[in-house]
Amino acid sequence: MLNILVCGIGGKMGGNIVDLLKDDKDAQVVCGVDIHAPEGCKVPVYSSFEGVKEKIDAIIDFSSPAVLDGELEYAIKNRVPVVLATTGYTPDQLEKIKAASQKTAVFKTANFSLGVNLLVGLVKKAAKVLGEDFDIEIIERHHNQKVDAPSGTALMLAEAANDVLTEKRQYVEGRSGIVGKRGNEIGIHAVRGGTIVGEHEVMFAGEDEIVSLSHSARSKRVFAAGAIKAAKWIAGKTQGMYDMNDVLGAIL
Ligand SMILES: NC(=O)c1ccc[n+]([C@@H]2O[C@H](COP(=O)([O-])OP(=O)(O)OC[C@H]3O[C@@H](n4cnc5c(N)ncnc54)[C@H](O)[C@@H]3O)[C@@H](O)[C@H]2O)c1
State pLDDT tens for residues 211-224.
999 999 999 999 99
Q: What is the CB-side half-sphere exposure of residue 98 using CA atoms within 13 A?
A: 7
Name the pairing type of β-strands 198-205 and 135-142. Answer: antiparallel
| Catalytic choice (108, 124, 142, 200) | 142
200 is catalytic: no
Measured from the Cα of 36, ligand 1's closest atom is 37
pLDDT at residue 249 tops 80: no
Which ligand 1 atom is nearest residue 66's CA? 31
The pLDDT > 90 percentage for the chain reads: 93
End-to-end CA distance of the chain, in Å?
A: 33
Nearest Cα residue to 87 out of 140, 20, 50: 140
47-60 pLDDT, tens per residue? 999 999 999 999 99
User: What domains can be seen in the chain, in order of their start residue?
Assistant: 2-108+220-248 (3.40.50.720), 114-217 (3.30.360.10)
Which of 103, 143, 146, 229 does the annotation list as catalytic?
146
pLDDT of res. 110: 87
Q: pTM of this prediction?
A: 0.87
98 is an active site residue: no
Helix (H, G, I), strand (E, B) or coil at 8: coil
Contact predicate 124/161, CB 8 Å: yes
> In terms of Cα–Cα distance, which of 90, 224, 223, 204 is closest to 155?
90
Banded pLDDT at 23 (limits 50, 70, 90):
very high
Q: Is 136 left (phi over 0), alpha (psi -120 to 50) or beta?
A: beta
Classify residue 22 as exposed, middle or buried by CB count within 10 Å of its CB (0-12, 13-18, 19+): exposed
pLDDT exceeds cutoff 70 at 250:
no
Q: Cβ contacts of residue 149 below 8 Å, gap of 6+? A: 173, 190, 192
Please check whether residue 47 is in contact with residue 35, taking contact to mean a CB–CB distance below 8 angstroms.
yes
Q: What is the pLDDT of residue 245?
A: 84
**Of residues 101, 106, 102, 115, the one with CA closest to residue 86:** 106
In this prediction, residue 131 has a pLDDT band, given cuts at 50, 70 and 90, of confident
Mean pLDDT of the region 137-142: 98
DSSP result, 129-176: HHTTTSEEEEEEEE-TT--SSS-HHHHHHHHHHHHH-SS--EEEES--
More confident residue, 250 or 137: 137
- Tens digits of residue pLDDT in 142-193: 999 999 999 999 999 999 999 999 999 999 999 999 999 999 999 999 999 9
Which pLDDT score is estimated for 38?
A: 87
DSSP 219-249: -THHHHHHHHHHHHHHTT--SEEE-HHHHH-
DSSP 8-state assignment for residue 22 = T
Specify the pLDDT at position 90: 96
Identify whether the C-beta of residue 203 lies closer than 8 Å to the C-beta of residue 67: no
Average pLDDT of the chain, as a whole number: 95
